[in-house]
Structure 1
Amino acid sequence: MKQKLLLLCLSLSPIVFYAQKLNKAKNNLKKDSSYKVSYDKIEIEDDQSDKTSSFQHDLAYELIAKPILFITSYVGYGLLVETVMEKEGKHAYMELTPYPYINHLKGDYAFEANEVTFTRFDISNQFLTDQNNTYGNNLNVKFRFLKRASVEYNQLYLLETQKYTSQFFTHDLTANYYRVRTQHLSLHYGLGVSYAYSGVNKAYFTYNTGISYFMNVPLSISLEHRGTPFSVNGIYQTKLNFNYHIHNYVIQAGFNFYNIGNVHYKMFGLGGKIYL
């Protein structure tokens, strides 16, 4: 009798563990960190030493800090926005296509092509699952405009069904800039805000970055990552998709990795995408 009871407890322990996994993630997200900062009062008694210190600071700023700031801003602009060579070359004149591989064009962007558009909607949806009775859905909508910009809405819903049922819902809104725009490759990054529901009820800033590589008709690969770094624990989403293009429709399959409150999920995603 004792042996049967022991076997029953061992068989039920994984169920309890997985059922509490999503609850643990949400509880971790609710935690806040507190930092104690102490300030000391500094009294300066000698006016002459204060003037000398001010002169030294001004000299250091003009000779060291100012050139460093100029070089940093120049290099930073080139890395994040556009270099001088790119501004004078084809990269600055790449146009957004209605959808990848239209009339045998390569990808998101084309140079001096007839098939271009000023605005475009990229709408995708994927169903998610793992091996531990956790399911979900990921909806993503991008409004592309001005060749280099987009506004993106991303929504994630997870449902854990075991002995206990738990769910998690979050969405974010970001403004994106497309830094790399070529026929085969496009890369973007963005900043925005995110809100987590399901008992977490927190808003925070979020960032994202993504890259798409268009190999040849009808295949492409895309990799995206977004993060919401709460004070203690955050929400981090990474997805790798393999895409099969059929006109303005795409069949998507890939892997999704989630870190929610330091609780990790590895899920398989299957869905589709449409360009409008």
Structure 2
Amino acid sequence: MKPITLLLLAYFMVSNHGFSQGKLEKAEKSLSKKEESNRSYNNSRSRLRTSNNYDDTYLFGDLLIEIGAIITYGIIFEAPGEAEYAASTASITKYPYLHSKKGNYSYDWGEDAALFRTTLSTRTVVENAKLYGNHLNADFRFFKRIGFEADYLQLWEDNTFFGDNSLAVYIFLAKYHRIRTERFDMYWGLGATYVDGEVDELGFTYGLGAELFFAKPLSLEANFNQAFINDTTVNKFNTLLNYHYKRYTFSGGYEHLKLGSVDFSTFSAGVGVSF
């Protein structure tokens, strides 16, 4: 009986450890993994041996690159014909719905326009009673088209019998507001993400976002960020319904996080102020 008892105890301890591992701990371990492989070095050496075979195609390749660059510039920044439209010179508003149905941009320079705008916000995210977090966000708009965003996400997970876990994600994004109309605007951005804790890594990040001012005082907002950490990604997507009251914005909606191989589906609610 003693061997059976020992086996049962060992099984119980292993099973208990598996159940005790929280989602944040799993996410940290997933993001911390690095694939050790020499394939990239072998591939580069192989390319060096065969590079002479491609010399004749360089001229044609350069031409395609130049054409692609012109098309890409028009898509990413502004096509030549767009300069004729009012949205090309739209100004930043002091805050949405100041004196009219305008959102983040105004075609005319007036009392509601500004050269620079800062929006500070805080949002709580909750998946369940034991897993929750908070966003602190600073968003800056200037020179009509340019922006910068800093986002700090702190997550906590309560584990009753095995201690608590926490994880923080810092996102820094330089943004270009590609579409700027009075009712709709859209941006793309490039930057970096840092994940602290056991991960302790910095990775390249890109982001996309848009906001539709469909009926005063409401707007619908969506944002997506993806960061490359080690051999996996950190994805963040949210969709928010915003209620604008003077300089304040009250928001609520859904936020999905994917940290490595672990998914988090959360409810999000918060408040922001523009000045």
TM range (shorter): 0.7 to 0.9
Letter in 1 for 2:69: S
Q: Are 1:88 and 2:84 an aligned pair?
A: yes
1:193/1:205 contact within 8 Å kept = yes
Distance 1:237 1:260 in 2: 9
Tell me which residue corresponds to 1:109: 105
Alpha-carbon displacement from aligned partner over 1:217-258 (angstroms, at most 9, x marks no partner): 100010011111123222111111100110110110011100
**Secondary structure, counterpart of 2:230 in structure 1:** coil
Q: 1:178 to 1:243 in 2, by over 3 A?
A: same
Shift of 1:131: 2.5
- Relative to structure 1, the CA distance from residue 18 to residue 156 in structure 2 (aligned partners, 3 Å threshold; closer, same or farther) is farther
Normalization by structure 1: what TM-score? 0.85
Secondary structure (helix, strand or coil) at the match of 1:102 reads coil
How many residues of Structure 1 are paired with residues of Structure 2 in the alignment? Answer: 255
Unaligned runs of 5+ in 1: 1-9, 45-49
Contact 1:250 1:274 in 2 (8 A): yes
User: What does residue range 58-77 of structure 1 map to in structure 2 within 5 Å?
Assistant: 60-62=57-59, 64-77=60-73
- 1: distance between equivalents of 2:164 and 2:135? 19
Q: 1:120 and 2:122 equivalent?
A: no
2:261 is equivalent to residue 265 of structure 1: no
Verify the 8 A CA contact 1:19 1:166 in the aligned structure 2. Answer: no
1:154 is the counterpart of 2:151: yes
- Cα distance in 2 between the residues matched to 1:42 and 1:190: 38
In 1, the alpha carbon distance for the partners of 2:85 and 2:117 equals 25
| TM-score, normalising length: structure 2 | 0.85
Task: Note if contact 1:257-1:267 (Cα within 8 Å) is conserved in structure 2.
Answer: yes
RMSD (Å), alpha carbons: 2.5
Are 1:25 and 2:27 counterparts?
Answer: yes
Aligned letter for 1:146? F
In the TM superposition, 1:40-79 aligns within 5 A as 40=46, 42=49, 57=56, 60-62=57-59, 64-79=60-75
CA offsets 1:67-103 (integer angstroms, 9 cap, x no match): 3222211110010000111122212111110011110
* Residues 1:179 and 2:181 are matched in the alignment: no
> Aligned residue for 2:199?
200
Question: Which one-letter code corresponds to 1:256 in the other structure?
Answer: E
Identity %: 26
User: SS where residue 103 of structure 1 aligns?
Assistant: coil
1:85 is paired with a residue whose SS is helix
Give the 3-state SS of the residue equivalent to 1:183 in structure 2.
coil
1:235 to 1:42, Cα distance in 2 relative to 1, 3 A? closer
Paired residues of 2:201 and 2:230 also in contact (CA < 8 A): no
Q: Quick one: distance in 2 between partners of 1:70 and 1:43?
A: 25
Question: What is the deviation of 1:17?
Answer: 3.6
Structure 2: state its 5+ residue gaps: 1-11
Cα distance in 2, alignment partners of residues 128 and 275 from structure 1: 21
User: Aligned equivalents of 1:144 and 1:272: distance in 2?
Assistant: 18
* Alpha-carbon distance in 1 for matches of 2:129, 2:238: 19
**1:138 counterpart = 2:135:** yes
C-alpha distance in structure 1 between counterparts of 2:182 and 2:149, whole Å: 22
Cα distance in 2 between the residues matched to 1:131 and 1:249: 28
The residue that corresponds to 1:5 in the other structure is none
Q: Which amino acid aligns with 1:28?
A: S
SS of residue matched to 1:229: strand
Instruction: Report the alpha carbon displacement of residue 18 of structure 1 after superposing the two structures with TM.
Output: 7.0
SS at match of 1:242: strand
1:23-80 Cα deviation digits (max 9, x unpaired): 0100111111223132257499xxxxx8xx78x71xx444x32432222111100100
- Cα distance change of structure 1 residues 136 and 43 upon mapping to structure 2, 3 Å threshold: closer
